[in-house]
Amino acid sequence: MEEAIIEEPIQQISKEISKSGANDWTNTKIIKELSKLNETNSKKLREKTIELLNIYDPTACEIYKKFSKLHVYTSKETLEEFNRGQIIKSLLIETKISRTLAEKITNEVENEIKDLDMNFISAPLIRELVCAKLISYGLNDVRNDYTRVGVPIFDAEKRVLINLEKGEMAKEYVLLKKIPKKARDLIFNSTIKVEDLEGFCTRIYGYTHICTLKENIESTLITNFVDTTNIQKYVYSPIAIFGLNTVASCFLKTKKDFEKTKNLIIDLIRLNEKSLISCELYLPSTYQKELKNKNYDKLRSIELTNLLIKNNLNIVNLIDSKYSLKLINLDKNLLILNNSREEKFMITKDIASKRKGIFLMVSINLEKLNDKNENNFFNNLDQIIEQIKELFEIKKNDFITINSGIDINELSIGIGLTSTENIAKKLNIEKDKLNKKIINKITLQIENCEIFGATKEALIKFSKINEKETTPFNESEKDEKTYCLTGITTDIKEVNNLIDKNIELINFIKN
């Protein structure tokens, strides 16, 4: 081979070609052709290597294919190519062994992994294999420096399911013991994003606490805030508090009452500072029977809402008509939930639901399903749906054992989708028609499910694997005006227009 600097990953590929049994002539020829590509993407380089090896040495090609299938499941929920250089690097940084020995141990561990044909290779597992190899060489002190301090699965199960512990230990336990292989592969290749993996067994994604009326204002506010705080450990997202201004209005008569109530709410917010307070500018159907003879007053509830807005609390305003907007303070940024079409609860700042909460939230990267064939696209979607249903059953069986007090039957399964703009073009189908088929397929197969745009966390992850910005799902109306789950505007007139278009969530940003 010519004396030239061959940079990673081509240098790594050259070693793999040699290990596959190909001769030096074949190796040199392939490396020269790879170098001409001016490509740094390992995946694309390996695809080209397989293509060339198949021409020059088919037998070595089959062995190389096995090598190229080695991937590592990372804590970032990604599936990355096995990189022996990372093992060598960690050994040199964390121990005092020589590079020669580090390379020898790494080479032997790599061969063991290939021979074992394991379906779940993780960084902790690789470290265990390296430690075993160090022991076999009598390097016990080196092993003690390199070993990972962890807990047995038996102990992890107790800590997760009984003590409700979270963090990396909980996430690793869930991935090893709870998530089926097919679903795990979908997660790591960024086809789906399951929110809150570390709390998969013991937390739901989002929840709305519906305030109840007590004998006086102090008891009403304190009881509801304490209840919210007690439930929060079973919920991933900050809990939304529904009906606070509505029930409080039953006790408000004087200016002093308003000031006292506002100050008490500000003090109680400290119990759960991230809570989202839902203020209804109308009497919700939830309370129409309960508050019928309880001195409820719409104008008093709105006056309290304006006081809370003025104090910059984390509030969403629920409206049932454009008229409601005339009654609130528009001098601040506002999040508005438009319930003029149907009544919904605020779950997070980005999600409103027909039900009290989201039990399981899964986003689907529809771009990963796109293979330019409509039948295959929907067959792939069917397989994902089956995995989501299985995940729901696993999560449900664990969650019902922790006595959270949350009724699963009042919750939805949230399905977040990415945009279908490019997919519709590649499948040569109208976007509106494609959207309806996707929604129908999902909602018919998954009971109590609701469709949303993919979560922000999912879009970040999907954008990396798609190598382009990935946007959330939009549903087109027949008049070709875009129906978005969320609209953003700085103009109050535009807020009215968005309400007319049935936009659900409206972010009003004050100039």
Structural domain boundaries in the chain: 10-146, 176-203+353-476, 206-346+499-508
pLDDT of 155 reads 85
**HSE (side-chain half, CA atoms, 13 Å) at 297:** 11
CA dist., res. 230 & res. 235, Å (int):
10
Q: Which residue has the tokens 């929920």?
A: 77
Give tens-digit pLDDT for 392-425. Answer: 999 999 999 998 999 999 999 999 999 998 899 9
Q: Are strands 352-353 and 345-346 parallel, antiparallel or unpaired?
A: antiparallel
Q: Phi first, then psi: what are they for 404, rounded to 5°?
A: -80, -20
Q: How far apart are CA 149 and CA 275, in angstroms?
A: 36
Min mean pLDDT across 244-253, 280-289, 309-318 is at: 309-318
CA-CA distance, 350 to 335, in Å (whole number)?
Answer: 10
Q: What is the 3-state secondary structure (H, E, C) of 176-204?
A: HHCCCHHHHHHHHCCCEEECCHHHCCCCE
**Model confidence at 313, in pLDDT bands (50, 70, 90)?**
confident
Please tell me the predicted confidence (pLDDT) of residue 86: 86
- The predicted-structure confidence for 238-254, as pLDDT tens digits, reads as follows 999 999 999 999 999 99
**Which has the closest alpha carbon to 226: 167, 156, 275?**
275
Q: Tokens for 171?
A: 């996430």
Closest CA to 144 of 131, 157, 154, 133: 131
Q: How confident is the model at residue 450 (pLDDT cuts 50, 70, 90)?
A: very high
The one-letter amino acid code at 508 reads F
Interval 170-228: pLDDT, tens: 998 999 899 999 999 999 999 999 999 999 999 999 999 999 999 999 999 999 999 99
Does pLDDT of 478 surpass 80? Answer: no
Structure tokens at 344: 């919904």
Single-letter amino acid code for the residue at 57 = D
316: enclosing H helix or E strand: strand 315-319
> Do the Cβ atoms of 238 and 231 come closer than 8 Å?
no
Q: What's residue 67's pLDDT?
A: 64
**Alpha carbons 283 and 247: distance in angstroms, whole number:** 10
Residues facing 81 on adjacent strands:
71
In this structure, are residues 20 and 58 in contact, taking their beta carbons and an 8 Å threshold? no
- E-assigned strands of 59-194? 71-73, 79-81, 192-194
**Worst-scoring range by mean pLDDT, 238-247, 429-438, 488-497?**
488-497
User: Is residue 119 pLDDT above 90, yes or no?
Assistant: no
Average pLDDT for residues 53-73, to the nearest whole number? Answer: 79
Tokens read off for 345: 């609860």
Using CA atoms, how far residue 266 sits from 103, 239, 272, in Å, is 61, 16, 11
User: Which stretch of 231-240, 368-377, 443-452 has the lowest confidence by average pLDDT?
Assistant: 368-377
- For residue 68, what pLDDT band results from cuts at 50, 70 and 90? low
Q: How many percent of the chain have pLDDT more than 90?
A: 50
Q: CA 430 → CA 291, 374, 435, 440, distances in Å?
A: 48, 12, 9, 16
Q: In the Cβ-directed half-sphere of 27, how many Cα atoms lie within 13 Å?
A: 19
Q: CB–CB of 64/17 below 8 Å?
A: yes
Q: Evaluate if residue 50 carries a pLDDT over 80.
A: yes
Task: Please tell me the distance from the alpha carbon of residue 26 to that of residue 20, in angstroms, as a whole number.
Answer: 11
Task: Decide which of 186 and 15 is more confident.
Answer: 186
Helix (H) or strand (E) holding 49: helix 42-56
Are 169 and 199 within 8 A, CB to CB? no
> How would you classify the pairing of strands 315-319 and 334-338?
parallel
Percent of residues, the chain, with pLDDT higher than 70? 94
Q: What one-letter code names the amino acid at 81? A: E
pLDDT of residue 117: 64
Whether the pLDDT of residue 477 is over 50: the answer is no
Helix, strand, or coil (residue 315) = strand
Q: What is the pLDDT of residue 11?
A: 80
Region of 306 on the Ramachandran plot (φ > 0 left; ψ -120 to 50 alpha; else beta)? alpha
Positive or negative, the CA dihedral 272, 275, 277, 278 is negative
**pLDDT given at position 479:** 34
